[in-house]
Amino acid sequence: MRKYIVYILLLINYSILLNDLSAQPIKKDYSRKVDSLLQQMTLEEKVGQMIQYSNDKLQTGPTIKNQNHVEEIKKGMVGSMFNIITVERARQYQDLAMQSRLKIPLIFGLDVVHGMRTIFPIPLGEAASFDLKMIKKTARIAASETSAYGIHWTFAPMVDIARDARWGRGMEGAGEDTWYGSQVAKARIEGFQGTDYSRQNTVLACAKHLAAYGAALAGKDYAEADISDATLHQVYLPPFHSAVKAGVATLMTGFNEINGIPATAHKYLQSELLKEKWGFKGFTVSDWGSIGEIARHGMGKDNKDATRIAVIAGCDMDMHSMSYKRNLVDLVNEGQVDVNLIDNAVRRILTLKYELGLFDDPYCYNNRYQELSDKKIINEHRKSARLMGSKSIVLLKNNQVLPIQPHISNIALIGPLNKASKDMLGNWKAVGDEKEVVTVDEGLRNAIPHAQISYIEGYDLENNELKPLPALDRFDMIIVAVGERAMESGEARSKVDINIHRNQQLLVKQLKEKSNKPVVALIMGGRPLIFSDMEPYADAILMTWWLGSEAGNSVADILTGKYNPSGKLPVTFPKQVGQCPIYYNQKRTGRPWVPNNLYVSGYCDETALPAYPFGFGLSYTQFEIDTPVLEKEKYFFNEPIKVKVKVRNNGKYKGIETVQLYLQDVVSSITRPLIELCGIRQVELAPKEEKIVEFILFTEDLSFYSHEKVFITEPGEFKLFAGNSSDNLRATSFELLETRISSNK
Ligand code: NOJ
């Protein structure tokens, strides 16, 4: 009985911990403690705090071994370790730090990108849910599991805007839209960090990669971002600003250069904008080796020069390049680097260590490890993973074959991805175990035990060679999984060809032609993929990304209609690679594209339209969204603009719709996109039910980065569009009166 009560209390307490964390972290003032510690530190010890090494056993970048790190930690010459994934190892390392003169604890980091042990959908998949509460919740759970492993800091969220499907790292972010990316950044950070870092189930977040890493030329990873100042500020920086406003503890610089300056060497970005203008109080960390790489970019004549440039730019911690270790003490002693810069960086790092509670108890997180063997707790986490998986799936096509109806009793399940477990975990999987993954094959068998399900390989997962097919006449339905492998998207996974392999597409065609039965295609992948050849032969198409530990159950819930699809694309799916980069909020042109016209902005061998637009996603029911309604036709500056939109469910299933609100600044002093997302509302409706959703826009929401290099809002006409996809919208308009103002954005 007693055990029972304790258990219930634990669960109640636990759920309070999981939910009760929102808004900016509350901070105590540790400045006196930090200053007094700083005064006791030698220059070597100070520089040590700015050094971070990867554990040798897990390397997430080009190998640089450092045999001496154990001795260095004992001497207090290391501030942080990362890639440690066992509690024992974390304890051993912290024991070493406790042998140092000042006993400054290490801070442990890890890439917990979409889950620690319970793996959630890849971030791009989660973004497709358009469910910010759920996104926050999965980050919350990830933080809870991560901290139970004794890890204090995740290198997430990635808040890079990704407009080019060739770039492999789009999978780690929230897609192509700046407004939505900023909301997702906030949700993830609040989920990871909560309101008090010293609570035992939170971790520090790290918004990365400052900045414009996703603007890599031709989608090639690590390549230059040659973009205008306006694009940098208007498109790529707002998610970072949103992260700072949400109280993010740390930021990571990118590998790329922006308009001639490597991100890690970028003084304007790290110091002037981030720390001075935006008032960021945490610390910045380089990406893996990116300080050393400054010299390879051709800025700085050698590693020492690169070090000088990075520290002057404001890069507080060196991730695994050994540059600070090799050069920083000398640079200060030679007068090339002002010691105040070092003090400033160390002050930021120590403050966060105090805020984390590390000085009170360097091991404080380790005693929660038992929680992870508690089945009830893990099951709760997996329940969220299952729901998030279903919410992430996007229904791209449905010729009324889904959801699976009761008369379907004989199903052919084709393609090895249906049995894949490791792939379901995606590229970043922390300690996620493939043995704990529910495959699609398992999920479907559990969901419809009455049906006979026959697995057929169809093609070889390694080389895509087609395998012979049996007779298909006896089946009522064919479900085929195609796409890329999990490790085909992520860091260093840029591609010139994002078509689904031609043999896989041929297989779908053959399945339809040979059987003439309903064919359902499950598309798996970490980026927009192209599948025009097979599209006409599939009766239903679902984009299922990589859904994590509960992947199979999430897919089965969608196929059976237990969960009515509600996902929307956070990225545009092109028809051809040659259309990349393609994104919905492109600028207007003097010669807009219209079909069958020569002198228009498009291609002479393909339409300018995508295969599937941003915001698109079907449901098993049919929603109708009315024209947005405003209270007035004219508004003054600083007057809130209330927008009402009526949504109706005209179909026969209950479902969730995401009402999307887009904006157009009709005439402005610099050209603006055709439309830009400025709000989303999710609404659940029973058949025949209707509801009115409300949006409120403020003057700041109408602003843009001007010639004068500040955000301004100009008076004049604005159009507002509401709908359930960026290509299915109804419009209204209003006028903004008075003179323009500049904002502090
Ligand atoms: C390189 C990646 O760019 C970065 O996102 C990651 O956090 C580090 N490696 C550490 O693994």
Q: Tens of pLDDT along 275-312?
A: 999 999 999 999 999 999 999 999 999 999 999 999 99
CA of 254 to the centre of ligand 1 (A): 9
Report the distance separating Cα 179 and Cα 670, nearest Å.
19
User: Which helix (H) or strand (E) segment is 712 a member of?
Assistant: strand 711-713
Q: What is the average per-residue pLDDT within 392-402?
A: 98
pLDDT of residue 12: 42
The set of protein residues with a Cβ atom below 6 angstroms from ligand 1 is 60-61, 111, 155, 208, 287-288, 491
pLDDT at 16 over 60: no
Percent of the chain topping pLDDT 70: 95
> Residue 719 phi/psi, 5° resolution?
-110, 145
Count other C-beta atoms under 10 Å from residue 317's C-beta: 24
Which of 111, 171, 250 is the pocket-test mutation for ligand 1 (most atoms within 8 Å of CB)? 111
Q: Is the pLDDT of residue 21 over 50?
A: no
DSSP helix/strand/coil, 734 = strand
DSSP string, 114-161: S-SSS----HHHHHHTT-HHHHHHHHHHHHHHHHHTT--EE---B---
Listed residue (709, 696, 705, 703) closest to 740, CA to CA: 703
Q: Which atom of ligand 1 is nearest to the CA of 208?
A: 5
**Residues 656 and 684 sit within 8 Å (Cβ to Cβ):** yes
Q: Ligand 1 test: best mutation among 158, 287, 428, 489, most atoms within 8 Å of CB?
A: 287
Among 52, 112, 155, say which to mutate for ligand 1: greatest number of ligand atoms within 8 Å of CB: 155
Structure tokens at 644: 């009402």
Cα distance between residue 718 and residue 733, in whole Å: 6
CA of 110 to the centre of ligand 1 (A): 9
Confidence of residue 15 (pLDDT cuts 50, 70, 90): very low
User: Residue 492 CA to chain centroid, in angstroms?
Assistant: 17
pLDDT at 315 over 80: yes
Calculate what percentage of the chain has a pLDDT beyond 90. 89
**CA–centroid distance, residue 319 to ligand 1 (Å):** 9
Query: Considering only CA atoms, which residue is closest to atom 1 of ligand 1?
Result: 288
What's the CA angle centered on 508, arms 504 and 513, to 5 degrees? 140
Report the separation in Å between the CA atom of 256 and the middle of ligand 1, taken as the mean of its atom positions: 13
Whose Cα sits closest to atom 11 in ligand 1?
Answer: 60
- Catalytic amino acids? 287
| Domains of the chain, earliest start first | 35-369 (3.20.20.300), 623-737 (2.60.40.10)
| Predicted pLDDT at 743 | 63
Among all chains, which residue has been given the structure tokens 């026969």? 652
Q: Which run of H or E residues covers position 505?
A: helix 502-515
**Chain-wide mean pLDDT for the chain?**
94
Instruction: Tell me what the mean pLDDT of segment 691-704 comes to.
Output: 96
- What spacing in Å lies between the alpha carbon of 156 and ligand 1's midpoint? 9
Would you state the pLDDT for residue 742? 63
